[in-house]
Amino acid sequence: MHPGTLFLIPAPLGEAEFADIIPANVQQRITCLKYFIVEHPKTARYFLKQIEGMRPLQEIEMQVLNEHTRFNELGRLLEPLLAGNDIGLLSEAGCPAVADPGANLVRAAHQKHVPIVPLVGPSSILLALMASGLNGQSFHFHGYLPIKHELRLKTIIQLEQESARFNQTQIFIETPYRNQKLLELLIQNCNDETDLCIASNLTLKDEYIATKKIKEWKSYLPQINRRPTVFLLHR
């Protein structure tokens, strides 16, 4: 028996016009699926309810994959695929497997020779890079920076040095309620001539994207607490 296909389904980055974010052909593909692997069933159901032509939610089967899922549990999640059923891997926001716990599942699916089909949708990292005006030929996404102050400060200095050495855009994110403190730390410790892009609430009505030198940011800092934000640094 041939395995089913694993479809990687991006989700909106927040409350936005659904039709403007998820292409019609992607929505049509999703309506054909009965099996889904999701991070949070409640938000997944809200997402699926917005798709025109979606089968009744009571007919849909969901399995959970999150940061607590152990590697030895992935085989169970793949069982419907290996039985010949297509499955949708649905991200909580943005693209599955990018700054997202789905990467291990995709790797396990490759090991079982399962076809993988990534579908088109929003990626906050790429959208921020596109809009930043910084180097899009060479960039490095670091995920979350260390929480401890000393290690975080050391990491920021290292990122700035690597950016200057390799002409490389350094990209990172933070838990939204710690955004403001991270921004203040960047302004206080980076070189005045370093470029910093702040990209908050991408694709939403109150989207904010601005690239300035550190010395320019010192005269005004936007309030970005509790607003999903991507930081981009280039020296």
Low-confidence residues of the chain: pLDDT under 50: none
Together in a domain, 142 and 92? no
Q: Which residue shows structure tokens 């969901």?
A: 62
In a domain, 1, yes or no: no
In a domain, 182, yes or no: yes
Total domain count for the chain? 2
The DSSP string of 201-223 is STTSTT-EEEEEEHHHHTT----
**Tens digit of each residue's pLDDT (9 = 90 or more) over 155-210:** 999 999 999 999 999 999 999 999 999 999 999 999 999 999 999 999 999 999 99
pTM greater than 0.85: yes
Contacting residues for 12 by C-beta, under 8 A, at least 6 apart: 18, 21, 22, 47, 93, 122, 203
Q: What is the dihedral of CA 129, 153, 215, 191, to 10 degrees?
A: -90
Helix, strand, coil percentages for the chain (3-state, nearest 5)? 40, 20, 40
Q: Which of 118, 152, 181 is the last residue of a domain?
A: 118
Distance CA 112, CA 109 (A): 5
Q: What is the pLDDT of residue 201?
A: 95
Q: What is the pLDDT of residue 159?
A: 97
In terms of Cβ atoms closer than 10 Å to its own Cβ (0-12, 13-18, 19+), residue 213 is middle
Together in a domain, 77 and 113? yes
Together in a domain, 47 and 141? no
Per the structure, the complete domain to which residue 112 belongs is given by: 6-118
User: β-strand 169-173 against 116-118: which pairing, if any?
Assistant: unpaired
Q: What is the pLDDT of residue 183?
A: 97
Q: Which of 78, 95, 118 is the last residue of a domain?
A: 118
- CATH, residue 176: 3.30.950.10
Q: What is the pLDDT of residue 79?
A: 93
Together in a domain, 84 and 130? no
DSSP class of 177: G
**Range 159-194 burial, b when 16+ CB lie within 10 A, else e:** bbebbeeeebbbbbbbeeeebbebbebbeeebeeeb
In a domain, 204, yes or no: yes
- CATH, residue 101: 3.40.1010.10
Together in a domain, 109 and 189? no
Q: Which of 77, 100, 118 is the last residue of a domain?
A: 118
Together in a domain, 225 and 171? yes
Q: What is the pLDDT of residue 222?
A: 95
